[in-house]
Amino acid sequence: MSTIPTATISRLVTYLRILSQLEAQGIKKTSSDHLAEEAQVSAFQVRKDLAYFGRFGTRGAGYSVPTLRRELRRILGLTRAWNVVIVGMGRLGQAIANYPSFDQYDFLLKGVFDIDPSKIGQKILGLEVQHTDALPTVVREKGVDIGLITVPQSAAQDAADALVRAGVKGILNFAPTIINVSREVHVEPVDFLAGLKRLSFYIQNPQLKEELA
Amino acid sequence: MSTIPTATISRLVTYLRILSQLEAQGIKKTSSDHLAEEAQVSAFQVRKDLAYFGRFGTRGAGYSVPTLRRELRRILGLTRAWNVVIVGMGRLGQAIANYPSFDQYDFLLKGVFDIDPSKIGQKILGLEVQHTDALPTVVREKGVDIGLITVPQSAAQDAADALVRAGVKGILNFAPTIINVSREVHVEPVDFLAGLKRLSFYIQNPQLKEELA
């Protein structure tokens, strides 16, 4: 079975963002050196990451920005739209639902859920907040692929279980806890406290340069 | 100059969270196998990550939960409090400011900022929203170490420049764009769209198992 380092997938997402910015600026050609500098990795790392997926660009001539951008979008599965739901309509869930570039990237919000009776029935972006009991129906009828969890830590595993039972294939977990799901469901954590703790490390240890490769 | 892979620092944060959960459950001993299973990496990876920082635990006897937790907190610089400010008081900034476990982890919110005249003077958690022009004064007087950026993408670089000029040592960037700062300032991105794009990859490519090491 092939394996691709998760860090490679993270970097592909970064390269794609850089390519989109170059394209918006009307720039047609780029190089592994330029991508490396912008992504703060080595040029060797850029070439190695891309090599998992084939041959791109021409030695000495660099990469065509629109071609490489199209290839990365294809590799990442971003040439189609993904239907998503959010479980947890507190402040964080509402902030995420209202994130301006959310559906600009073809992540289409199809439902918002909570278990708090005072929240159910409220309208968020034209969607009525529903009880999580309605998840299986919504996931099936709307073809939902991905669930976002924005509930408190103590409710995160229940929310994950409800999403998995309802049939989502992936979960983006904002709760600061590890959730356990069956192996077929992929979980991506978004833990900003983890980011703060990494910052704390680097501020505390300025002599420990980050490894760039 | 020593280098530590950034992925190692991310995993130390994960191990610390697992140890805190074990300690809360009254569990006194653990093993690299258990940490590995919970963190979804290999036991070899756990031992390798810890080996950057010294020798922990005893062969065959595993790790003492309170001792390893204390050591990881020390390594990560989490035995002290860090003073933080947030730039951007839209929905996301307000959600982050109100994140329940924020100061539980000794990240102390010392100021909230925006450039929108309609927001300035509003009270958030007892703090008055100030114009970013006041950043240098607040950073100096309150001893602020870290700035969180929760402004839209188009304002992110300006917010970063203001924070760096004011003297913060680290930035947690929620805006979905790469910001450029001087090399002494460490930036941690929190990009939940990147998480969605990684999910998209793994759902699209179920045959590509994640590499666990």
Query: Three-state SS across B172-207?
Result: EECCCCCCCCCCCCEEEECCHHHHHHHHHHHHHCCC
Looking at the fold, whether A53 and A144 belong to one and the same domain comes out as no
Same domain, B166 and B90: yes
Q: How many structural domains comprise chain B?
A: 2
- Whether residue B145 lies within 8 A of chain A, CB to CB, comes out as yes
Instruction: Say what the pLDDT of residue A138 is.
Output: 98
Residue B82, beta-bridge partner list: B107
Three-state SS at A195: helix
Domain of residue B104, residue span: 82-194
Asked whether residue B175 falls in the same domain as residue B107, the answer is yes
> Which CATH number do you get for residue A22?
1.10.10.10
Does residue B199 fall inside a structural domain? no
**A132-168 residue pLDDT tens:** 999 999 999 999 999 999 998 899 999 999 999 999 9
A–B interface: beta-carbon pairs under 8 A: 210
A89 and A187 belong to one structural domain: yes
Same domain for B189 and B87?
Answer: yes
A33-42, A200-209, B183-192: least confidently modelled range? A200-209
Is B206 inside any structural domain? no
Question: Which of B23, B56, B74 is at the close of a domain?
Answer: B74
**B75-116 tens-digit pLDDT:** 998 988 999 999 999 888 988 888 766 666 788 999 999 999
Q: Do B77 and A17 touch (CB under 8 A)?
A: no
Is B22 in the A-facing interface, judged by CB distances under 8 Å?
Answer: no
Let me know if residue A203 belongs to a domain.
no
Looking at the structure, do residues B43 and B134 belong to the same domain, yes or no?
no
Separation between Cα atoms, residue A101 and residue A81, nearest integer Å: 14
Token pair belonging to A20? 């989109």
Structure token pair of residue B2: 């020593």
For residue A19, being part of any structural domain is answered with yes
Q: Report chain A residues whose CB lies below 8 A from the CB of B164.
A: none
- Closest chain B residue to A10, measured at CA: B198
Tens digits of residue pLDDT in B126-139: 899 999 999 999 99
- For residue A21, what are the CA distances in angstroms to A69, B115, B150? 10, 25, 20
Which residues pair with residue B209 across a beta bridge? A3
Q: Note whether residue A36 is domain-resident.
A: yes
Could you give the CA distance from residue A194 to residue B109 in angstroms, rounded to a whole number? 17
Q: Are residues A129 and A88 in the same domain?
A: yes
Contact B114, B131 (CB under 8 A): yes
B187 in the same domain as B157: yes
